A and B are shown apart, each in its own frame.
Chain A
């Protein structure tokens, strides 16, 4: 299955990552609204990498199976980790300058959302899927 990996080191990489996510979703036949939802979620998640962890990686892949088309995006970094995931998922909560809409907002935009975080490592996996 096809995939792309984008290093997240600068603000420009946020744009590259979300464009790639959108292109992959488009190529796989997702509608414009879903392309936009996924790209927006990836924009939020990769910005978190720049803001909190400085650098990380974004892997976008075609994770389709017999019944569903699925585009999967994994965003990982070796930053400080998210100390309280439940709090971080609360709308309006932010330890930075943000609106606190990033994580809960991205979750509401995608079909699957999973956070794995410990001190020194965070991985957020999201996916958009549709029936074949």
Chain B
């Protein structure tokens, strides 16, 4: 399964589809990293609003992906988590997901844009 990754103002925008096998999730992780590298993306907006279930495997993939994107030097934000997924993840214990989050794609996009602008400002001064 090929998950579309779009580019908008130097930011990659992608949405994880509902029923992803473990293998598809790992493939997606690799694809996203390659795209960040290829397009020299400054940020990634990762939408998970289609996910009805996030188990510890998917949580790990999301966390690892965020860490990897960070290592490449881009910002990442996770958007659109379903309320029942948030409840489940917290109840499962510890912090399974430790990533910057936003309520939805629109807010996530704004936050990433602001982060990138902040970095540019620092670069100037």
Binding site for B on A (CB under 8 A): 11-12, 14-15, 18-19, 22, 32-33, 35-37, 39-40, 43-44, 47, 91-92, 98-99, 101-102, 104-106, 108-109
In the complex, chain B residues 29-87 whose Cβ is within 8 Å of any chain A Cβ: 52-57, 59-60, 82-85, 87
Q: How many residues on chain B are close to A (CB under 8 Å)?
A: 23
Tell me, yes or no, whether B13 is within 8 Å of chain A by CB: no
Q: Give which listed residue, A12, A37, A39, A106, contacts B21 with CB less than 8 A.
A: A12
Binding site for A on B (CB under 8 A): 19, 21-23, 52-57, 59-60, 82-85, 87-88, 91-94, 96
Q: A11-B22, A33-B87, A40-B88 are in contact. Are A101 and B52 (CB under 8 A)?
A: no
Query: Is chain A's interface secondary structure helix, strand, loop, or mixed overall?
Result: helix
- Asked if residues A98 and B60 are in contact (CB atoms below 8 Å), the reply is yes
Which chain B positions have C-beta within 8 A of A108? 91-93
CB distance from A107 to the nearest CB of B (A): 9
Which chain A positions have C-beta within 8 A of B92? 40, 101, 105-106, 108-109
The CA of A101 and the CA of B60, in the complex, are separated in Å by: 10
CB distance from B22 to the nearest CB of A (A): 5
Which chain B positions have C-beta within 8 A of A19? 19
- Most B-side CB within 10 Å, residue of A35, A47, A99: A99
- Asked if residues A40 and B22 are in contact (CB atoms below 8 Å), the reply is no
- Asked if residues B23 and A99 are in contact (CB atoms below 8 Å), the reply is no
Q: Give which listed residue, A11, A32, A35, A43, contacts B55 with CB less than 8 A.
A: A43
- Asked if residues B56 and A37 are in contact (CB atoms below 8 Å), the reply is no
CB distance from A94 to the nearest CB of B (A): 10
- Asked if residues A36 and B88 are in contact (CB atoms below 8 Å), the reply is yes
Which chain B positions have C-beta within 8 A of A44? 55-56
CB distance from B39 to the nearest CB of A (A): 30
CB distance from B63 to the nearest CB of A (A): 9
Q: A11-B21, A12-B21, A47-B22 are in contact. Are A101 and B56 (CB under 8 A)?
A: yes
